[in-house]
Structure 1
Amino acid sequence: MTQLASLLTAGGAEPVVGTTGNNSNHSKTETNQNLCTPTCSTNGTHSEGYTGAFEGPEKLLEIWFAADPEAANYIGQEAKLCSEDHHDQWSELRSGLRCVPRSIWRDMLELVHCQVLSTLCNEHLDSYLLSESSFFVYPHKLVLKTCGTTTLLYAIPRILEIGRESLGVDGTYQLFYSRKNFMFPDQQEPLHQSWEKEVAYLDALFPEGAAYMIGKTNRDHWHVYLSGPHEPRSQKPAVVAETLAAVACNTIGTSDVSGEFNGEETVAADQQPVPISTDVTVNNSLAGSPTTQPVFSRSSSCSTMNSIPLRSDVSGTKADITVEILMTGLDPECMRAMYLGGASSVEGSDGGKAVEKVTGISEIYPDSTSDSYLFTPCGFSLNGLQGDGYYTIHVTPEPHCSYASFETNVTDGRAADLSDPKAIKRLVEQVTRAFGPRFVTVTVFKARNANGSRQLIDAHALAAAVQSAAAVSTKEDLLVKAAMQLAADVVPPSFAPVDGYKSVDRVLYEFDHYWLRYASYIKTS
């Protein structure tokens, strides 16, 4: 994305605060005018340093310091770190990483060679729209996505320091790093010029990590690096067990501090589900990974029925599913809106809103709040929040290097259910209509159990609780419904055919804790 020229100012201008999006009562955007410098970055993405050949495909880093937001409150954090530049309507609700002062995040982003343009927040997470893509902060994890020639991996040591200083953890719960094959790899900084160099760097930080290349080596393909899940070393097992016990009882589960499970689990840890409609199925057990799967034992204070794995949306914990749609060969007619003077002659957030409306992007998640930018001379970026989920869009429209990406983990009841193949089909078709790509890559990461762990609950007690709360149907009917929902945790994601596109590559990876579905499409008309 090209840097907004009006933001290339030095000095101490105060941030301009306003609201944006379809649901401005629930989120707030802050446009920061004092975050950028008058010098062009080495990315060649600022208005004054634009080179005409931009690397759209992003580097994507996701680091978890705990299994869920609640756990981040129990990992040695003694006090909130909120500061004046963090004060807004959500200040009292922030916890974990969300309490890290924004000045610390800005300094970390300098290592990557990108700056913050604006922020969008709600009760669940904070998002930062960057000069090169996006940054999302939850209490327990962060997602950093950067394009161009940014040096994303150089930020990892600093991020680990921030986790240690603010949460008291030494290490990560789990880590994901991924990217599509680059268009101009020789223009990257040395670390990012090859996947082998990136893997060597990551291996030095995470010796138990594992690297994969997915797709055809002589066509579009995708790289991914995984580490964990495992408990950060500073967590005390007794404290963790007590915390899990409390959560378990609150969700009709049980635990004691011994961490031993007294009962039988209906799904074996090493059970391999049957692949669904795939050309290639790969089992990749991360042998040797220091994985820790919390388990619960029975206590007299909770039910003693047989247990089954708990699906996250039944327990109230968000399902861990992320969908990426990566597109190249974009339709020039669709791309007119992505140039200054197309959908709008105003750069910045006002121009971004015009692009959202003209392209139909605003209709993908109509209940969301969004923060977008139209860049000079061209380019578009968007961060959107809906509930505890985010989505992000980035577009490079130039014909010789056209690229667009769409990423989402929004899976609440008002939006698409990302575990439903038909819902993913609708999402892909809606996104591709906005950009008209010739080539499309879709990836779905889905946890095999809630939060990747094997939390156990009492199915009969769950059905009784749901029946009591809903006052509908019979316990037997609810048990069947609950069992069908819970079964989704052991079934890999699948794709329905996408209208107007032919599938040319399909791969299913089965990891210890996640499914990864990869598909590549080419336009048929």
Structure 2
Amino acid sequence: MTGQSSSQKVGDAQYAVSVTDNTQAETMQCTPTCSTNGTHSDGYTGAFEGPEKLLEMWFAPTCSAAICADPGAELCDEDQDQWSELRSGLRLVPRAVWRDMLDLVHCQVLSTLCNEHLDSYLLSESSFFVYPHKLVLKTCGTTTLLYAIPRILEIAHRYLGATCAYQVFYSRKNFMFPDQQEELHRSWEKEVAYLDTHFPEGSAYMIGKTNRDHWHVYLCGPYETSLPGMLDDDTTANNSAEGSPLVHALSRTSSRSTVHSLIESSGVGSSVPHAPSDTTVEILMTGLDPDRMRAMYMGGASSLEGSLGGKAVERATGIAAIYPDSASDSYLFTPCGFSLNGLQGDGYYTIHVTPEPHCSYASFETTVSSDSAIDLNSAGGVKNLVEQVAAVFGPRSLTVTVFRARGDTVSILAGSELSVDVDGVGKNSVMAKTALLSAATDEDTVPPAFAPVVGYKTVDRVLYEFDHYWLRYAYYVKAD
């Protein structure tokens, strides 16, 4: 693509975008090549594979535990912005290094959006998010996402000193056109075999009906250590709030016996730090309403390719109203297709749309609980979100997954620092112990069932209880 570079600021975020002028309206019909974004999908005929491959790799349990281990790491001019002084951990990796990694996946960076907590990259095929301690890479089409794993491990070793991943998640919906994928991604069995070579203790699952839409997920970890200073058996080293054995274990489990044992046996006094909630909601949609999808074609909501066209789509479709207080970075493709990354606080959301009628697909993923109306930890909040998203796309069917950490530390740590002086005999020590035990027990309960979604009937429901996460899965079809 040809275009001019520019910088824009939206809300509390700043981003760089590539804008391509296009003043001629395109007819809204499917073309033989469903993606002309100059990447791996060039020449891909017949249909475009919308369902994404999603990889999430953690190298520490919290942001502040991820300290850059490369003394020579410096941000170059390209990486300088208003958040430069706040970057740490993986956010100090130069953008050129990330682009090199993305070449292995066959993706290109279209634009970036940043705030004080994380960096997002809008890709030619989906999205990439970088926190100090973890990254999330989501790619569609015939991209080769898993081939990035060795390179990501090398980058984490250089910049964090990580000896391994702290925990890993890989997931995807069943493909529409599996035979079109590169060899590695043509079957779930091949993907799992490849993942097992890097993560021997990983576990693979297929969730949902084998003869209908279903979802694959691979989990690994969390492990005891991955970074220098994170504790294994040595309880005398690194007893800061982030590195203490108590806090490290609280991030990994909320078992009453584990918490009780740590409080009773630890000889370390520490303040429990704040940690963000770890809840992710995905809404994956097929059979999109053709009338609603007209906005996703060049000449529909806009005749401008790129970020200007993307903003027009946000306004025309109601997408902008889902998280009105967020900063967003969106892109309208030629001849059709739409992508968006949004940031709000320490959370992100992302949308990707393939509007062609014979392969229509849209994904919506979020970690943002904006208010009581969209509370990702409540059935009502998830219902409100699903109905709002479904109203934008009008899908015939949709899959909803809610992934939530067990014993989420957000409630344990809420609003104040609890001093855990295990050798103390005062009232504060007893109250701290009681609060920790109570919060851990209360939080580790079965998440509420999905509420009915207006206009849809539930075809499939699954609840998984993993060692460290809860997963709720539901599949809906449009009611007659």
User: Which category describes the TM-score, using the shorter chain as reference length?
Assistant: 0.7 to 0.9
Q: Is the 8 A contact 1:136 1:142 kept in 2?
A: yes
Which of 2, 6, 10 is the equivalent residue of 1:6? 2
Q: Is the 8 A contact 1:186 1:193 kept in 2?
A: yes
Which of 328, 347, 364 is the equivalent residue of 1:406? 364
Which of 445, 449, 466 is the equivalent residue of 1:490? 445
Secondary structure in structure 2 of the residue aligned to 1:317: coil
Corresponding residue number in structure 2 for 1:435? 393
- Count, aligned residues: 449
Q: Is the 8 A contact 1:111 1:151 kept in 2?
A: yes
> Matched residues in 2 for 1:331 and 1:204: separation?
42
Which of 60, 63, 66 is the equivalent residue of 1:69? 63
Is 1:118 aligned with 2:116? no
Is 1:372 aligned with 2:330? yes
Corresponding residue number in structure 2 for 1:223? 216
- Rate the CA distance shift 1:78–1:460 in 2: closer, same or farther, 3 A: closer
Q: Which AA in structure 1 matches 2:407?
A: N
- Rate the CA distance shift 1:457–1:155 in 2: closer, same or farther, 3 A: closer
Q: How does 1:310-321 map to 2 (within 5 A)?
A: 316-321=274-279
Superposition CA RMSD, Å: 3.6
Is 1:333 aligned with 2:291? yes
Q: Is the 8 A contact 1:55 1:148 kept in 2?
A: yes
Is 1:60 aligned with 2:54? yes
Corresponding residue number in structure 2 for 1:29? 15
Which of 453, 457, 470 is the equivalent residue of 1:502? 457
Q: Is the 8 A contact 2:372 2:381 kept in 1?
A: no
Give a deviation string over 1:455-474, Cα, whole Å, max 9, x none.
988999859xxxxxxxxxxx
> Matched residues in 2 for 1:268 and 1:369: separation?
42
> Matched residues in 1 for 2:384 and 2:414: separation?
35
Corresponding residue number in structure 1 for 2:405? 447
Q: Is the 8 A contact 2:407 2:440 kept in 1?
A: no
- Rate the CA distance shift 1:119–1:486 in 2: closer, same or farther, 3 A: farther
Q: Is the 8 A contact 1:245 1:296 kept in 2?
A: no
Q: Is the 8 A contact 2:37 2:333 kept in 1?
A: no
- Rate the CA distance shift 1:241–1:501 in 2: closer, same or farther, 3 A: farther
Q: Is the 8 A contact 2:338 2:352 kept in 1?
A: yes
Q: Is the 8 A contact 2:305 2:333 kept in 1?
A: yes
Unpaired stretches in structure 2, ≥5 consecutive residues? 21-35, 420-430
Unpaired stretches in structure 1, ≥5 consecutive residues? 8-12, 271-292, 304-309, 464-475
> Matched residues in 1 for 2:415 and 2:143: separation?
48
What is the CA distance between 1:235 and its match in structure 2? 3.0
Corresponding residue number in structure 1 for 2:191? 198
- Structure 2 length-normalised TM: 0.84
Give a deviation string over 1:226-250, Cα, whole Å, max 9, x none.
110003455345598568743279x
Secondary structure in structure 2 of the residue aligned to 1:136: strand
- Rate the CA distance shift 1:58–1:88 in 2: closer, same or farther, 3 A: same
Secondary structure in structure 1 of the residue aligned to 2:61: coil
> Matched residues in 1 for 2:347 and 2:364: separation?
14
Q: How does 1:71-470 map to 2 (within 5 A)?
A: 71-73=65-67, 76-78=69-71, 80-233=73-226, 235-236=228-229, 245-247=239-241, 267-268=256-257, 297=265, 299=267, 316-411=274-369, 413=371, 416-450=374-408, 462=418
Q: Is the 8 A contact 1:365 1:415 kept in 2?
A: no
> Matched residues in 1 for 2:62 and 2:393: separation?
35
Secondary structure in structure 2 of the residue aligned to 1:171: coil
Q: Which AA in structure 2 matches 1:179?
A: R
Q: Is the 8 A contact 1:260 1:297 kept in 2?
A: no
Corresponding residue number in structure 2 for 1:287? none
Q: Is the 8 A contact 2:60 2:226 kept in 1?
A: no
Q: Is the 8 A contact 1:296 1:456 kept in 2?
A: no
Give a deviation string over 1:361-409, Cα, whole Å, max 9, x none.
0010011000000100000000000000000000000000000000001
> Matched residues in 2 for 1:431 and 1:299: separation?
50
Q: Is the 8 A contact 1:241 1:256 kept in 2?
A: no
> Matched residues in 2 for 1:294 and 1:108: separation?
40
> Matched residues in 2 for 1:158 and 1:461: separation?
38
Is 1:513 aligned with 2:471? no
> Matched residues in 2 for 1:105 and 1:88: separation?
17
Q: Which AA in structure 1 matches 2:39?
A: S
Corresponding residue number in structure 1 for 2:478? 523
> Matched residues in 1 for 2:265 and 2:470: separation?
27
- Rate the CA distance shift 1:405–1:242 in 2: closer, same or farther, 3 A: farther
Secondary structure in structure 2 of the residue aligned to 1:327: strand
Corresponding residue number in structure 1 for 2:426? none
What is the CA distance between 1:81 and its match in structure 2? 3.2
What is the CA distance between 1:317 and its match in structure 2? 1.4
Corresponding residue number in structure 2 for 1:289? none
> Matched residues in 2 for 1:260 and 1:57: separation?
35
Give a deviation string over 1:314-351, Cα, whole Å, max 9, x none.
x6311100000000000011101100111111111111
Secondary structure in structure 2 of the residue aligned to 1:164: helix
Q: Is the 8 A contact 2:120 2:128 kept in 1?
A: yes
What is the CA distance between 1:296 and its match in structure 2? 8.0
**Percent identity over paired residues:** 62
Corresponding residue number in structure 2 for 1:290? none
Give a deviation string over 1:172-201, Cα, whole Å, max 9, x none.
000000000000111000100111110110
> Matched residues in 1 for 2:439 and 2:157: separation?
40
> Matched residues in 2 for 1:316 and 1:161: separation?
29
Q: Which AA in structure 2 matches 1:347?
A: E
What is the CA distance between 1:490 and its match in structure 2? 2.9
What is the CA distance between 1:16 and its match in structure 2? 2.3
Q: Which AA in structure 2 matches 1:321?
A: T
Q: Which AA in structure 1 matches 2:470?
A: W
What is the CA distance between 1:518 and its match in structure 2? 0.6
Secondary structure in structure 1 of the residue aligned to 2:211: coil
- Rate the CA distance shift 1:439–1:83 in 2: closer, same or farther, 3 A: same
Q: Which AA in structure 1 matches 2:194?
A: Y
Q: Which AA in structure 2 matches 1:267?
A: R
Q: Which moved more, 1:482-491 or 1:396-405?
A: 482-491
Q: Is the 8 A contact 1:260 1:296 kept in 2?
A: no
- Structure 1 length-normalised TM: 0.78
> Matched residues in 1 for 2:140 and 2:290: separation?
21
Q: Is the 8 A contact 1:133 1:146 kept in 2?
A: yes
Q: Is the 8 A contact 2:18 2:306 kept in 1?
A: no
- Rate the CA distance shift 1:151–1:498 in 2: closer, same or farther, 3 A: same
> Matched residues in 2 for 1:57 and 1:435: separation?
15
